Amino acid sequence: MTSRMNKLYAYLDNNNMDAMLITSPKHVYYLTGFATDPHERFLGLLLAKGEEAVLLLPALDFEAAQAASSVKNIHAHSDTDDAIEILSKLMPRGIRNLGVEKEDLSVQRFEAISAAVEATTYVDIGSPLREMRAIKTADEVARMKRAALIVEDVLRLGVSKVKPGVTEIELVAELEYQMKKLGAQGPSFETMVLSGAKSALPHGTPDNRKVAEGELLLFDLGVYADGYASDITRTFAVGDISDEIKGIYGAVLDANLKAIEAIRPGVTFGSLDRAARESIESAGYGPYFNHRLGHGLGMDIHEYPSIHGRNEDLLLAGMVFTVEPGIYVPSVGGVRIEDDVLVTQDGVEVLTSFSKQLTVIG
């Protein structure tokens, strides 16, 4: 926690910034170890040049923060206080350039802050936080491995409940129940179970549609464990499926494997997307792979980097992201195979280990 904050203090020095105010609960957690959801109440971590870090939070969080936060200079505001006025008093004099999380601050809150403090220039601090978060520490990787292990156990249990006639939403309920039973905090996004032609909707919504023989069944799910997300997709056959669908499955699996094979430090994200896309194009399904290859994964289910064909940024050891090619043929069905991967010093470690061979269930 301290080393993360030290990097931000160095960023202040190197970027002619007097202070920064961290307001997103995830980043307060990332920097102090104290996790809370303040809802609409104000939460802020103030790092000012040459000053000790200050945490300002709702009074009802005070005791929990004292126990968990590495920042011990903690100030509380009650529901009848003006939190922004307290913030302005905590701010050292002479702050001109203030770093803020532009992605997190509402316009309303920004206006209140800028009316109350001396600062005249507001600089976005999204990029140092994003770049720091992109490289996972051993502790973060351990949490992500646990999130992956739990979700794979959940998926195994969910698959065992599949039989013709069960509805998509019943399977979602079973999966989300098992997530908490198996030790996750909860789903990392809305669990997706899509059957038949609905599997061709990459962002479809599960409903009372019944699972039927001769169709595909797509599961896309993830959990949060110790603050970190997993995200996996597997597509199954319920009973016998057509040769056309088997061909689609094979093409997606090849694309998934080709992209993973290409992962190592120093190659571009774009090259991974292109490896998968060329594989799907050569199978004749190019137009049916209509989204990027994947996304960064960590405290957020979608975070930096975005794995698409025009991202020429380089992979670095310690990055974790998804590889999730898909082919979606309207009214026929869709297949997606999604893994979570860690870039290692010399290649890749795949965090998800659930079988990718076409499997008949139900």
Q: Within positions 298 to 327, which residues make up the interface with Mn ion, using CB under 5 A?
A: 322
**Positive or negative, the Cα torsion across 103, 233, 324, 347?**
positive
- Pick the closer one to Mn ion by CB: 101 or 231: 231
Residues in contact with Mn ion, shown as a per-residue x/- string from 265 to 304 under the rule CB under 5 A: ----------------------------------------
Q: Within positions 224 to 263, which residues make up the interface with Mn ion, using CB under 5 A?
A: 231, 233
The token duo for 123 is: 């600089």
Q: Which residues face 225 on adjacent strands?
A: 228
- Pick the closer one to Mn ion by CB: 220 or 273: 220
Contact 206, 195 (CB under 8 A): no
CB of 260 to Mn ion, least distance (A): 15
- Pick the closer one to Mn ion by CB: 99 or 294: 294
CB of 129 to Mn ion, least distance (A): 21
Among positions 18, 220, 339, 340, the unique one binding Mn ion when judged by CB under 5 A: 220
- Pick the closer one to Mn ion by CB: 77 or 198: 198
CB of 170 to Mn ion, least distance (A): 20
Q: What is the DSSP string of 241-287?
A: --HHHHHHHHHHHHHHHHHHHT--TTSBHHHHHHHHHHHHHHTT-GG
Binding residues for Mn ion, how many (CB under 5 A)? 5
Q: How many residues does the chain have?
A: 362
Q: Is 154 exposed, middle or buried (0-12, 13-18, 19+ CB in 10 A)?
A: buried
Give the CA count within 13 Å in the CB-facing half-sphere of 172. 19
CB of 188 to Mn ion, least distance (A): 9
Distance of alpha carbon 211 from alpha carbon 196, whole angstroms: 7
- Pick the closer one to Mn ion by CB: 131 or 300: 300
Residue ranges that bind Mn ion, judged by CB under 5 A? 220, 231, 233, 322, 338
